[in-house]
Structure formats: C-alpha cells, structure tokens
Amino acid sequence: MTRLPPRPDLDWTPDGAPRSRASDDVYYSRHGGLDETRAVFLGGCGLPEGWRDRTRFAIGELGFGTGLNALATWDVWRRTRAPDAVLHYVSVEGFPLERNEAARAHAAFPEVAALSAKVLAQWPVRARGAQRLWFPEDGFALTVIHEDAELALDGLAGVFDAWFLDGFAPSRNESMWSATLMHRIAALSAPGAQLASYSVAGAVRRALTAAGFRVGKATGFAGKRERLEARLDRAQGASTLVSPASGTVAVIGAGVAGAATAAALVRRGMDVVVLEAGEALGAGASGNAAGLVMPRLDRGDTPVARLHLVAYLEALRTYEALGVIDAAGVVEVIVDPAVRDDLIADPPLPPSHFQAHESGFIHPRAGVVRPVATVEALLRGARVRFGAKVARLSREGDRWVLLDADGDVIETASAVVIAGGAALARFDETRWLPLEYSRGQTETGLLDGAPLPHALSGDGYVAPLDDGVVFGATFDRTDALSAIPDADSRVRNLEKLARLSPSLAARVRVDALTSRAGVRAATADRGPLVGLLPDAAAFNVRHAGLMHGRVDASGAPSPVHEGLYVLGALGSRGFTLAPLLGETVAAQICGEPQVLDRAALDAVNPARYLVRALKRGKPIPA
C-alpha cells in the first residue's frame, strides 16, 4: 500500500457530474444530488427530527465522494439544531478528490454555494488518516478519513447516532458493503441508531440483519423503486466511556498545550477558565522567540507515525486560520540517503506539502510561529486567570475543587485538564507519571546580509525571525523544573548551527546574541500523555493479574479519576502536536468521536505506563 491514498479515475458527464471509471458509477443522482441526500439519507435516518433537542449528535458515512451529502446535512442542521448543539459528521473516503474536482462538482448546486466555499477553503489534504474541519459558527465538525473503509472503521473511536452508506454500488465495490463492515458499524452505533442507503441489495440487507439491525424498505428516489432504512435494536449498541461534561472546564497551564485545549473547548461552546501560575503568557517553553511547525515523517506505518502526520496537518489548519504562521517553508536536512530515497519514492504527503531537496526534503507549507502571539490567539474566548497557583485538587461530589497552597479555593469545575508542561506531575493524582526532563537553550540574534528565506532543521534548527534568526537547541537531561541560560550551551548551539549551515553560521552576529533556556517534559517512549487520567493505585489493584500474564476479562472500565484529564510531555514538538491533542482531550470530555484512531489513542494514553510496569512485575508506586 502506498503512503499516499490513491486518486480516483474520473470522467465527467455532459451535465458536469463526476463519474468513477473504475466503478463505472456516478457520484450522485443525475436527478438532483441534494434532493437525493434529503430523501434517501436524511429522511431515511429520521432527520432532522432525530437531532431536535440534542446537544450532541454524530453521523458516520461510508463514501465521502464530493462531500455533497455533508453539505446537504450541514445546510439542514444549521437551520434546525438546538442552540449550542454540535454535529459531528465523520466520513470515510479511500479515493479522495482534489479541491478543484470537488469545486467543479459543487458548482451544480448554487443553493449550498456558501457552505461549499467554506469547505473548499479547508479541503482535506490528500494524506492518509483523519482530518477535522471545524465550523463553530454552526456547531458543525466535518471529519474526513482517507483510508480503506475496513481499516478506517477498525480504528474509529466514537459512538454514532446515524449512518449514511453511500459507497458505489455493491456489485461494483463489494468491499464497501461487507458483513465485516456492517458488524463494525453496529459496534460503533448508539442503541437505536438509524442507517440509510440507496441500496437494497440482498447481501447488504442480510449483513445488516446479522449485525443486529432491523432492516426495511421505503420508496426510492427519482424513479428508483426502493431504498433501505435500518435501525439498531435499542438493547444493543455502544456507549461512551464518560458522560459529556457540562459547566466550567478548568485548564491548568496557559502554555500551548493548555491554550490549544481551551480553544477546542471554546469552539464547542464550553465555559473555559485557564489558570496560569505566572503573571503573564510565555513563562515556560511557550515563551521562546519562535516555534517550528513541521512534520515528523517516519518510514514505518506505526500509530505514532500516523499521530505525527495528522497532528502536522491539524497544526497548519489551526495556525493558518488564526493567521499566526509564517509558512516560509522548512528544509529538512537528511543524512541517511536510504531514508531520503524511500520517502521521496513513496511520499506521505502530496507535492504541495512535501518535495525533494538537495539537502533532504523541503516542506513548503511548514514554517514558524511566534509562540506568545500564537498562545494568545488560541486563548480567545476563554477566561484566563494569571497568578493562579493551583497546589492541590479535591474531588467533591461531581465537581473538582482547585486549591492554592493555603487551602483557599481558586476555582470549581466539572472537569479539569492539567496541561502544566514540566510541572505536569506536581499533583498527588499525577505524581506517578513517568516524566523525563531536558534543559533546552536557544539563541536569538541578527544576521548579516540577506534574510533567511526559510527555516532549516536537522541536528538542531534555525528559523527566520524579523531581521535575524533563532537557532538551537540544546537537549540536556535535568531534574530541575527551571533553567537559566549559560555560555557552554551557547557554544554548543553555535557548533550545531555551523554543522547545519556553515555559510549561515558565518553571518550570525555572535556578539549580539541573546539566550533563553527552559525545561521540556517528555516520556521514555517520546509519546505524549493525553486523556483521562488513570487512578494509578486502583488501576494496579484491578489489573494486578498482568504481573502473572492474566488479563482482566470483566469488561469493566479501568479505574480513572472522573473528570480529570492530562495533556503534556510534548517534548520539542509542542506547537505541532498541541492543536490535535487539545482537540483529542476536548472530544473525550464531550463524549464525541475522535480524530485519532484507536491505536494512536492507545499510544498516548497515560495508562500505557501502568500496564507496562505491571507486565514487568514492577508496578509504578502511586
């Protein structure tokens, strides 16, 4: 399987509709694509009546195609939704269209032209994995997964209220209608979930019935005799692990992790208060002069590799929308020619985002952000309290009480997100987290001659900043949670710069450099810590059998601190990872479908360290 998802082989009908040559099938009815969606899919799933008075609703779709079903659904949703309600529309597409192809298809439907323009402005990049487009003014989140349907559903994390089955006809695309997929759809469905399709093929009806759906037929659209409607037995279906939070969410830490989480919650209409111990933004690592936003590209297809690719695209989308990124490009210097040749021969991103360069690669859309300005933009809409030094957390009923060192109440909240960077493990509930700390120093200074046209990354980095550059950084293991600049680190940074670009190093005004030092938090496997926080002591008791090779088969959820979440250990990639991981935490708090697949969620789950320690026979003390 290639790293890039395949493009569809299209031709166009005389009336301007796309048609798949491979499947010998059209993308939508020639008798009216919007009317078909309203009749077959919305009507077939009992919508909009089904989402009235619902604060959260989720639709899954097989066959995103041109996105016409999503546009039609969004159009009805925005006119009928309950105040502040959120609709998640998650769609799978194995052969993604380019933006210009989608625009050509949408041109036939002027009544949704305004919505089409918004989607086209954020059209998903042709890359494997999920990409989420948010339209908070309408409470609408569109997630498109570029992947084979079976792989996509195997990894999908969420509970869905309705399904649109809109792949090409079963006789032309059998894999999109398999019994395995129908069972997976049932497993992802809420009790009573409804499903609709234009196809009433016998194999489809039998597969759905075997999966637990009650299947019926209704009058078809535009001369087609029948269409399919199905409903999952109310006694069956999935359920969320946590109930969606209501009320105030408190975020501890106003660095990029906390700010990105706050932004994700604010766009859901949540009341968010951010508690920052410092007296101003930029007290920690998020106060550096510049932050590099670029992909981490791996040769292997691992959960962590997928996480980094999806995170990069989410970061670009977020910072471009905020207008805070200087997308001048990043040249990545690659020493190993095998790595360079492999990724160029089979790229993970299209040419608009990834190209060969004499030194390795160039990422044309990557670039530099100003950390403090970026954090400030992410915090819009949230309440920020400076000098709020949370020392202790106390669970009282269904609320968390946040206390200072004197025991005075700072805030009460229905949910808390600890995003305190290097101070992540300072609470009783988080003290067991296995963090490693490194001291990092950067240098900022002026440059003689022409300004640097783009950033460079390799063993260290250098980024353009006004008339000068920022470069570094050191990685020195430390046990301290604060750092001050020193001369030795500056010498090593200058040596790194000279190795990365001797000609550039010769133009730096060494006598006018300023240094900044901070402390990063990371984990031994270099994966971040994201999500609901396990109750470590209770977890060790519940899963003690792992020390003897026994797995708890009860099916009961593992012990957690209800309503307490963490987001941290982002290492040196905080500005690239934070927007996606903030979205991940917000979706978990609100009980919504996730962008990340299950394997990637497991790879960032804090409980992974408790499990590993138990399997080694050495539980982490809690």
Mean per-residue pLDDT, 604-619: 96
Q: Is residue 164 part of a domain?
A: yes
Q: Mean pLDDT for the chain?
A: 94
* Residue 257 exposed, middle or buried by CB count within 10 Å (0-12, 13-18, 19+): buried
Residues 6+ apart with CB under 8 A from 231: 192, 193, 194, 195, 213, 214
258-278 confidence digits (pLDDT tens): 999 999 999 999 999 999 999
Domain-located, residue 107? yes
- Residue 48 belongs to a domain: yes
Pairing of strands 455-458, 330-333: parallel
Residues 269 and 220 grouped into a single domain: no
Does 97 fall in a domain?
A: yes
Based on the domain organization, do 180 and 269 belong to the same domain?
no
Binned at pLDDT 50, 70 and 90, residue 469 comes out as very high
pLDDT digits (tens, 9 = 90+) for 571-603: 999 999 999 999 999 999 999 999 999 999 999
Higher pLDDT among residues 13 and 119, named by residue? 119
**CATH number of the domain where residue 179 is located:** 3.40.50.150
Quote the pLDDT of residue 166. 92
Decide if 199 is inside a domain.
yes
Identify whether residues 176 and 46 lie together within a single domain: yes
In percent, the amount of the chain with pLDDT more than 70 equals: 98
Cβ(616)–Cβ(610) below 8 Å: no
pLDDT at 229: 97
Residue 411: give the domain boundaries. Answer: 248-282+375-434+525-615
Answer whether residue 407 is part of any domain. yes
The count of domains in the chain is 2
Q: Whole-angstrom distance between the N-terminal and C-terminal Cα of the chain?
A: 44
CA distance 471 to 400: 42
CATH number at residue 425: 3.50.50.60
* Res. 31: pLDDT tops 80: no
Shared-domain flag, residues 163 and 277: no
Does 256 lie in the same domain as 159? Answer: no
Same domain? For 35 and 150 the reply is yes
Position with higher pLDDT, 120 vs 17:
120
Q: At what angle do helices 113-121 and 99-106 cross, to 10 degrees?
A: 180
Residue 241 has pLDDT above 50, yes or no: no
Q: What is the pLDDT of residue 324?
A: 97
**Residues 532-541, mean pLDDT to the nearest whole number:** 96
Q: How many CB atoms lie under 10 A from the CB of residue 199?
A: 21
Q: What would the pLDDT profile of 335-374 be if each residue is shown by its tens digit?
A: 899 999 999 999 999 999 999 999 999 999 999 999 999 9
Note whether 226 and 252 are same-domain residues.
no
Sheet holding 25-26, edge to edge: 10-12, 18-20, 25-26
Name the domain boundary from 171, 205, 232: 232
| The pLDDT of residue 240 is above 60 | no
Please give the pLDDT value at position 368: 97
Asked if the peptide bond before residue 473 counts as cis, ω within 30 degrees of 0, the response is yes
Contacts with 147 (C-beta within 8 Å, 6 or more apart), sequence order:
5, 92, 94, 128, 129, 155
pLDDT over 90 (residue 482)? no
Is 160 inside a domain boundary?
yes
Whether residue 196 sits in one domain with residue 63: yes
306 pLDDT above the threshold of 80: yes
Residue 106 — left, alpha, or beta (φ > 0 → left; ψ -120 to 50 → alpha)?
alpha
Domain boundary, last residue among 232, 265, 295? 232
Asked whether residue 311 is domain-assigned, the answer is: no
Q: Are residues 30 and 119 part of one domain?
A: yes
Question: Among 357, 518, 523, 577, which residue's Cα sits nearest to residue 453?
Answer: 357
Say if residue 270 is in the same domain as residue 381.
yes
Q: Say how far apart CA 112 and CA 115 lie, in whole Å.
A: 5
pLDDT tens track for 217-231: 999 887 788 999 999
d(CA 131, CA 146) in angstroms, rounded, equals: 8
The 10s digit of each residue's pLDDT in 149-182 is 999 999 999 999 999 999 888 888 888 999 999 9
Confidence of residue 243 (pLDDT cuts 50, 70, 90): low
- Domain check: are 607 and 546 in the same one? yes
Average pLDDT of the segment spanning 90-101? 97
Whether the Cβ atoms of residue 410 and residue 416 lie closer than 8 Å to each other = no
Rounded CA-CA distance 206/274 in Å is 52
Mean pLDDT across 285-296 = 89
Look up residue 553 and give its amino acid. A
Domain end marker among 207, 232, 257: 232
Q: Supply φ then ψ for residue 213, to 5 degrees.
A: -90, 145
In the structure, what pLDDT confidence band is assigned to residue 71 with cuts at 50, 70 and 90? very high
* 255 pLDDT higher than 60: yes
Statement to judge: residues 157 and 227 lie in one domain: yes
